[in-house]
Amino acid sequence: MKSQSLNVYKRLLTYSRPYTWRIVLALVGSLGVVAVDVATAQLMKPLVDKIVIAKDYLLVNLVPFIIIGMAIFKGFSRYVQEYAIKTTGQLIVQDVRNDLYSHSMGLSMKYYVRNSTGNMMSRILNDVGVMQRSAADVLVDAIRESFTLIGLTISAFYSDWRLACVAFLVLPLALGPASVIGRKIKEYTQRSQATLGDLTAVLQESFSGVKVIKAFGTEAYETVRFQAENLAFYRFIRKTLKYDAASAPVIEILASLGIAGIFWYGLHRVISGAITQGDLFAFAASVLMMYTPVKRLIKVNNQIQRSIGAAERVFEVLDEVPDISDRPDAKTLGRVRGRVEFDRVSFAYDDEPVLHEISLRAEPGEVVALVGPSGSGKSTLVGLITRFYDPQSGAIMIDGEDIRLATLDSLKTNIALVDQETFLFNDTIRNNIRYGRRDATDAEVEEAARLAYADEFINQLPEGFESNIGDRGVRLSGGQRQRICIARAILRDAPVLILDEATSALDTESEAMVQKALANLMRNRTTFVIAHRLSTVMHADKILVLQDGRIEDVGTHQELLGRSGLYRTLYDMQFQE
Ligand SMILES: Nc1ncnc2c1ncn2[C@@H]1O[C@H](COP(=O)(O)OP(=O)(O)OP(=O)(O)O)[C@@H](O)[C@H]1O
Ligand SMILES: [Mg+2]
């Protein structure tokens, strides 16, 4: 193994540490298996010499008992070994998956923009599954087979050391090709796991976008796309299988060379009287039985290579350093008053700058509206307040405190967000609203729903608040979903409120109602409102007009109308009649 692979493997093994006693138990079981194998080989000598040749009838009657007794002992040992080690394997899988999940939850939005959901899912489900066998399971296999080999080797030398020397010239021959095969398997495993990731990504995408597929009638196109990924996966798996399948035959052919030589030489020694028939049988049994562990060890090597391939993909995620995390000296913010300031904030998702030197200030309780054309950077700007991303330059302060110096937890409890994309969990309405504040009582949840004008339609549902809004909330209308998201934000009761197109899916009537609720909600909170409909932002204390990531103009509705800028143009377009 290369040193890098060795490190990966060592790291894998650290996951077995909590399960040491299970592994020890498995090893004890495997020693029982080894003992029976070695005893079988050595019992060939009395069997041949004393029974077959010397015809000892008393011993003949013992044979069935010995066979059955040994089988029971071996069976029991194997059971203990298998059960102990398989459960260890599963426990390790569970640990790795938990680690991987909690680590990925800590990664920033930047990571998720770069990596597809399907890819992440594949790593957590498939790669962990593949790497699992190597951690403890394979290790015990390796140890058992090594013990068997050592035992049988001693047994072979004990029977006839000359013959044994001949046999062991041949064994190493098998190891060269075996290691080449192992390396190939690792390489192709890694590539096939990557393709499996792509496959999962396609799946994930098409199931969540099924409505678009249906609307555009692109089922056939998607099927072809899936089949192509599926085929790509098969191609890599086939290569792995090719090497895997070649492994055993190669060993067997090389083994036959040894066996041929041994029998030729061994029979000569029996005929010349140097050893007894029993010695030859015991020896032959030892050597023949040895090829099984050798074959298994090579399989183990293949398995380890495969696991390392997958483990590298898993560790890649675990080693990803979250670029947004608490500083060691991060402060816990209490409930803030809600003064939000941007000081010459510039931001780019990649190289292309999206926000240029934005400076603004929102006093506690103020309503700041952001208007501007699509793509001008409104969502990006408010996203920076929640630290989805950190700006490349400049600083954002809440109550005069740079938000990068506060703990993420305490920052987020101070912010409630109703996003442009209304995401609801596959859970009850009650729990979806309660997501705003986990410890809210049922009464508080219902009150929040009432304030968001969501209670009416919720109560009309057969199960009311307990209704499950199925996968992605398909059973609710856009406006209903939005109101649940608003209720969630109301429940959060945070001093800073961000409404990104929060009422865009509502009709004029329900918007007017929700506006009233929001007006209540906005009292004593610093609110950022983004809306295309100017009627929603007219009453803001301050309106920022954004264009191409720059603040074009700031003022109240009346002030802005007085100037003939972008705001005037937008206004005229919306209120032409
Ligand atoms: N995750 C992302 N990665 C890279 N670029 C992005 C990302 N999100 C947005 N952008 C780009 O940043 C710019 C501003 O996007 P933003 O979502 O802030 O616009 P917006 O003003 O909210 O538009 P809209 O009114 O349509 O919601 C756009 O040019 C967009 O292409
Ligand atoms: Mg937006």
Q: Residue 126 CA to chain centroid, in angstroms?
A: 8
Q: List b or e across 308-317, with b for residues whose CB sees 16 or more CB atoms inside 10 angstroms.
A: bbbbbbbbeb
CA distance linking residue 267 with residue 108, whole number of Å: 72
Q: Which residue is closest in CA terms to ligand 1's atom 7?
A: 349
352 lines ligand 1 (CB under 6 A): no
Which atom of ligand 1 lies at the shortest distance from residue 532's CA?
Answer: 25
Q: How many other C-beta atoms can be found within 10 angstroms of the C-beta atom of residue 24?
A: 12
Question: Sheet harboring 415-418: ordered strands across?
Answer: 415-418, 496-500, 526-530, 367-371, 542-547, 550-555
CATH 3.90.1150.10 fits 3-318, yes or no: no
Mutate to test the pocket of ligand 1, among 115, 356, 380 (most ligand atoms within 8 A of CB): 380
Q: What is the pLDDT of residue 77?
A: 93
Amino acid at 356: H
Minimum-distance ligand 1 atom for the alpha carbon of 370: 21
pLDDT at residue 296 in the model: 81
| The predicted structure's pLDDT at residue 462 | 82
* Atom of ligand 1 lying closest to residue 420 CA: 27
Q: Ligand 1 centre from 390 Cα, in Å?
A: 15
In the Cβ-directed half-sphere of 139, how many Cα atoms lie within 13 Å?
24
Grouping H, G, I as helix, E, B as strand and the rest as coil, residue 359 is strand
Q: What is the DSSP string of 426-492?
A: SEEHHHHHHTT-TT--HHHHHHHHHHTT-HHHHHHSTTGGG-EETGGGTTS-HHHHHHHHHHHHHHH
Q: Is 386 in the pocket of ligand 1 (CB under 6 A)?
A: no
Domain boundaries, the chain: 3-318, 340-574
pLDDT at residue 443, as a whole number: 93
Please tell me if the CB atom of residue 504 comes closer than 6 angstroms to any atom of ligand 1. Answer: no
pLDDT at 244: 81
Cα(216) to ligand 2 centroid in Å equals: 25
What is the phi/psi pair of residue 343, to 5°? -120, 105
Testing ligand 1's pocket by substitution, the residue of 113, 351, 379, 422 carrying the most ligand atoms inside 8 A of its CB is 379
Give the position, in ligand 1's atom list, of the atom nearest the Cα of 349. Answer: 4
Q: Is the CB of 178 under 6 A from ligand 1?
A: no
Residue 379, ligand 1, Cβ within 6 A: yes
How confident is the model at residue 73, as a pLDDT? 94
What pLDDT does residue 287 have?
A: 80
- Residues 148 and 38: their CA atoms lie apart, in Å, by 7
381 Cα: distance to centroid of ligand 2 (angstroms): 9
Task: Tell me, in angstroms, the distance from the centre of ligand 2 to residue 321's CA.
Answer: 28
- Ligand sitting nearest the alpha carbon of 112: 1
Alpha carbon dihedral 521, 526, 532, 538, in 10-degree steps, equals 80
Contact in structure between 134 and 304 (CB atoms under 8 Å):
yes
Pick the CATH number of 340-574 from 3.40.50.300, 3.40.1390.10, 3.20.20.70, 2.60.120.10: 3.40.50.300
Task: Please tell me the predicted confidence (pLDDT) of residue 2.
Answer: 60
pLDDT for the residue 136? 63
> Does 421 contact ligand 1 (Cβ within 6 A)?
no
Query: Is the beta carbon of 383 within 6 A of some atom in ligand 1?
Result: no
pLDDT reported for residue 368: 94
Per-residue pLDDT in tens (0 to 9) along the chain, 577 residues: 566 777 888 888 888 889 989 989 988 998 998 899 888 888 888 888 888 888 888 888 888 898 899 999 999 999 998 898 888 888 888 898 899 999 998 888 888 888 888 888 888 888 888 877 666 667 778 888 888 888 888 888 888 888 888 777 766 666 677 778 878 887 888 888 888 888 888 888 888 888 788 888 888 888 998 898 889 889 888 888 888 888 778 877 877 777 787 788 888 888 998 888 888 888 888 887 877 787 788 788 878 888 888 888 889 889 988 888 888 888 898 899 989 999 999 999 888 899 999 999 999 989 999 998 889 999 999 999 999 999 999 999 999 999 999 999 899 999 999 888 888 888 889 999 999 888 999 999 999 999 888 888 898 888 888 888 875 555 788 888 888 998 999 899 899 999 998 877 777 777 777 777 777 778 789 999 998 888 778 888 999 999 999 998 898 888 888 887 888 888 888 777 5
Which of 376, 381, 385 for a ligand 1 pocket mutation test, highest count of atoms within 8 Å of Cβ? 376
Q: Give 376 Cα–ligand 1 centroid separation in angstroms.
A: 7
